[in-house]
Amino acid sequence: MRRLLALSIALAAAPAAAQTALPLIPMPARIAPSAGTLRIAAGSLVSAPGNDVGAAKAAKLLISQVQKDRGIALASGAGGVIRFERDASVDAAEGYRLDVTPQGATIRAREDRGLIWGAMTLAQLLSPDARFGQAVTLPAVSIEDAPRFVWRGLMMDVARHFQPVETLYPIIDAMAAQKLNTLHLHLTDDQGWRVEIKRYPKLTEIGGWRTPPSSGGAPGAKVGGFYTQDELKALVAHAADRGITIVPEIDMPGHAQAAVAAYPEEIGVLGDRPDVSHDWGINPWLFSPSDRSMGFIRNVLDELMAIFPSPFIHVGGDEAVKDQWQRSPLVQAQMKKMGIKTENQMQGWMIAQLGQYLSSKGRRLIGWDEILEGDVPTSASVMSWRGEKGAVEAANKGHDVVLAPAPILYFDSLQSDRSDEPPGRLSIQTLEQVYAFEPVAAGVSADNARHVLGAQATAFSEYLATAKQKEHAIFPRLSAVAELTWSARDKRDWKDFVARLDPQMLRYQREGIAAADSAFAVNFRMQGSRGDALRSGKVMLAMDTQAGAGAIRYATNGKLGGRSQAYSAPLTIRTGASVEAAAYLTDGRAAAAPRRFDASRAALLRATASDLVACPKGALGLRVPLVSGQSEDAPAFNVNIFDTCTQWADAPLGEAKAVTIAVARLPRHYGLAHEESALRAHYAVTAHGELVVRAGGCEGAVVGTFPLPDPKSAPNRMTFSAPVADQKEDANLCFQFTSPLSDPFYAVESVTLADRR
């Protein structure tokens, strides 16, 4: 009970919204504590009515979850201390009641999902702390609960980087444990077609594989993969047993290059056969709106519906640049014959036709918010990703909507500015920012708020190549989504959530989920410039964590241990020292892995890609790997793909006699569509361009000019050095590459200044 008591103490000071110290995510609708306790240990029996299949499945899930998260083996049997019962008086479809008394625990619900969610609540109560394998004493309590929204989801992008089916099962289990009920699978895109369609085998034979992009040398072997229909049916059944619906997405009319590569004559617009794309972003290939193409799509949807019983089928609709349609005499003739004046209206007609077809099969169409540009009927549901504007417009027009807005719910966005974050988008979205998101956007009228079905996180995978990288990006931010989509708005409280997230982080660990500790890791904030520190021989260092959980302790010139000190205010250390720090919880555990700050002169005279900033009029938008599909988090480079220019701000040049720049050549694999005009070319004066280094900013004096090698034959990592002995003070050090836009692009990996001393 020590950990539970610690949570009680922590939450006693929390705002009134915090009802209880119970370690639950999401926060239930109503909690009523009562007198007494109930002890649950290995061998405690779990009972369900003998003729109730749904209750039996919920009981089995409870036993499995408790074994996984607590390490105690419950058993099935009559007369159990834990009982599942049907109760028609539970009004909400997903609602449940959980009563814990000294005599036992009873879960009641009207429907199967309610029994599952009640089981997951009890499983969380039975894993409240770090004492794995030990019996649990539960406080007597009555919980009445039901969700705020009917759509509580996560989108997994398995098209950009194929993800083996076995790695999806732990994601589903972790979702169910927190009452999320929708897994949206992004199954097709320009870079791959991932679902077997038996009528059209080339969709996977050709469309499921791509040649990776090159940074100059010979291309590598093809990469990819796909799911068989049997694999997906098994996944659907596994999810359904856990209260989760899998919503499939076949993207159209855009993001169609993999499909067109497989069947250009059936669905292509201009008759050409492209390669399956390795370029992230927007590519020009579209599905044709011809009768033949529409018949092809309906056939695909038939097989898709046979795999996925989901009421909703997602048809994409996003980022479809219409240049192919505009340049096609056949499409233009079709539009004229139909009296359609714009290509957006043509897309609207196409989506409406598919919506009617799905409706005839008892299904509902949902698409990204661009489908609104084609005046689709209100029977089409809208998933708003371009901020919240699409949700407001759609809901006020009478469409049902799901909120999935960028950047706040885009989980390929980094969680911190730390250098140890894996690749992703540099639009940082912290755990706290995600938790603060409100699905009913301002601007949705009170009458139309009923059209907001809920919200989901999206994990697009251009920069998330492995299952573990995806887990790092998704968890624990998905815990915040679980709460904001289930719990009433007035039940949500950030500090309360952080306290309840601690036992959830333990559950992730036991479940083998590689949840990020970014919100709990110590951040080091050096006060003043590096030059000041090098000249004075002292560094002032502040420390914090995003979540504010625990008390920070640190050790200088060694590892954390018995000699660590409590941090309370910025401290001053000598150059040459190091600091290791972590935030510690009340039971003595570190909330995150210790982080280290190196204050040696060598470290202060070195910058990595994460220390660099954008050049004037630019912005660093992406953190990219050295090689597409890279399985390791590093090396990674913070880049502006529109202008390959970065700076080391206030570099301590006055303390240096020379500079060495480590450079990497990266694949230029970005489909920019109409944004190509924003690319900034720099005049090259050698065959393959140069790295131009300037001191005093990007208009400053040239420190060195280094011709770049032939990408076809040179390694993709190299170093350049130049003297900087004439520099007297700190100054911005600018790195500008002038390689042609047709070539791979370059980024600075690190900058090392040679010490004058």
Render pLDDT for 563-579 as a digit per residue (tens, 0 to 9).
899 999 999 999 999 99
Task: Say how far apart CA 105 and CA 82 lie, in whole Å.
Answer: 5
Residues 500 and 405 in one domain: yes
The crossing angle, in degrees rounded to 10, of helices 229-240 and 168-176 is: 20
Cβ density class 104-142: b for 16+ within 10 Å, e for less:
bbbbbbbbbbbbbbbbbbbbbbbbbbbbeeeebebbbbe
Residue percentage of the chain with pLDDT more than 90: 95
Report yes or no: 194 and 158 within 8 Å, Cβ to Cβ.
Answer: yes
> Structurally, how many domains does the chain consist of?
4
What pLDDT is attached to residue 375?
A: 84
End-to-end CA distance of the chain: give it in Å, rounded: 58
Residues 188-209 pLDDT 10s: 999 999 999 999 999 999 999 9
593 domain residue, yes or no: yes
19 domain residue, yes or no: no
Q: What is the pLDDT averaged over residues 361-378? A: 95
Residues 161 and 131 in one domain: no
Residues 512-551 pLDDT 10s: 999 999 999 999 999 999 999 999 999 999 999 999 999 9
44 pLDDT more than 60: yes
pLDDT tier for residue 412 given thresholds of 50, 70 and 90: very high
Q: Which of 277, 664, 279, 624 is nearest to 465 (CA)?
A: 624
Point out the catalytic residue in the list 94, 196, 249, 319.
319
CATH of the domain at 721: 2.60.120.260
9 pLDDT more than 60: no
Global pTM reads 0.96
517 domain residue, yes or no: no
What pLDDT is attached to residue 638?
A: 97
407 domain residue, yes or no: yes
17 pLDDT more than 80: no
Report yes or no: 319 and 254 within 8 Å, Cβ to Cβ.
Answer: yes
Residues 218 and 281 in one domain: yes
Using CA atoms, how far residue 593 sits from 121, 518, 583, 589, 611, in Å, is 28, 10, 9, 10, 22
Task: Say how far apart CA 391 and CA 49 lie, in whole Å.
Answer: 43
731 domain residue, yes or no: yes
What pLDDT is attached to residue 728?
A: 85
What pLDDT is attached to residue 21?
A: 79
Strand (E) or helix (H) holding 750: strand 745-755
446 pLDDT more than 50: yes
Report yes or no: 160 and 189 within 8 Å, Cβ to Cβ.
Answer: yes
Does residue 319 carry a catalytic annotation? yes
Q: Which residue among 145, 161, 196 closes a domain?
A: 145
Task: Say how far apart CA 526 and CA 187 lie, in whole Å.
Answer: 45
Task: Say how far apart CA 62 and CA 76 lie, in whole Å.
Answer: 10
Q: Which two three-digit tokens encode residue 132?
A: 């794995």
12 pLDDT more than 90: no
Residues 202 and 87 in one domain: no
pLDDT tier for residue 558 given thresholds of 50, 70 and 90: confident
CATH of the domain at 327: 3.20.20.80
Q: What is the pLDDT averaged over residues 28-48? A: 98
Q: Which residue among 579, 599, 619 closes a domain?
A: 599
**∠ CA(565), CA(571), CA(575), 5° rounding?**
105
Q: Which residue among 145, 165, 193 closes a domain?
A: 145
pLDDT tier for residue 276 given thresholds of 50, 70 and 90: very high
22 pLDDT more than 50: yes
Ordered strands of the 636-639 beta sheet: 424-425, 622-625, 636-639
Domain that holds residue 331: 151-511
Residues 136 and 161 in one domain: no
Residues 371 and 473 in one domain: yes
**Sign of the torsion angle spanned by Cα atoms 68, 72, 76, 78:** negative
Tell me which residue has tokens 């630019």: 618
What pLDDT is attached to residue 405?
A: 98
Q: What is the pLDDT averaged over residues 343-348? A: 97
Q: Which two three-digit tokens encode residue 356?
A: 């009617």
pLDDT tier for residue 230 given thresholds of 50, 70 and 90: very high
15 pLDDT more than 80: no
Of 2-6, 305-309, 545-549, which gets the smallest average pLDDT? 2-6
Residues 166 and 99 in one domain: no
Mean pLDDT of all residues in the chain?
95
Q: Which of 618, 709, 706, 615 is nearest to 659 (CA)?
A: 706
pLDDT tier for residue 757 given thresholds of 50, 70 and 90: confident
Residues 503 and 526 in one domain: no
Task: Say how far apart CA 302 and CA 305 lie, in whole Å.
Answer: 5
11 pLDDT more than 60: no
21 domain residue, yes or no: no
pLDDT tier for residue 217 given thresholds of 50, 70 and 90: confident
Report yes or no: 55 and 148 within 8 Å, Cβ to Cβ.
Answer: no
Q: What is the pLDDT averaged over residues 145-163? A: 98
What pLDDT is attached to residue 725?
A: 77
What pLDDT is attached to residue 369?
A: 97
Residues 534 and 595 in one domain: yes
For 330, phi then psi, to 5°, come to -65, -45
696 domain residue, yes or no: yes
Residues 496 and 623 in one domain: no
The 3-class SS string of 158-200 reads: CCCCCCCHHHHHHHHHHHHCCCCCEEEEECEECCEECECCCCC
Using CA atoms, how far residue 474 sits from 239, 415, 479, in Å, is 18, 10, 9
Task: Say how far apart CA 124 and CA 486 lie, in whole Å.
Answer: 16
23 domain residue, yes or no: no
Q: Which neighbouring-strand residues pair with 46?
A: 76, 82
CATH of the domain at 113: 3.30.379.10
**Sign of the torsion angle spanned by Cα atoms 477, 479, 482, 483:** negative
CATH of the domain at 560: 2.60.40
Residues 370 and 246 in one domain: yes
Q: What is the pLDDT averaged over residues 459-479? A: 97
Residues 611 and 593 in one domain: no
Task: Say how far apart CA 144 and CA 99 lie, in whole Å.
Answer: 9
Q: Which two three-digit tokens encode residue 730?
A: 């700190």
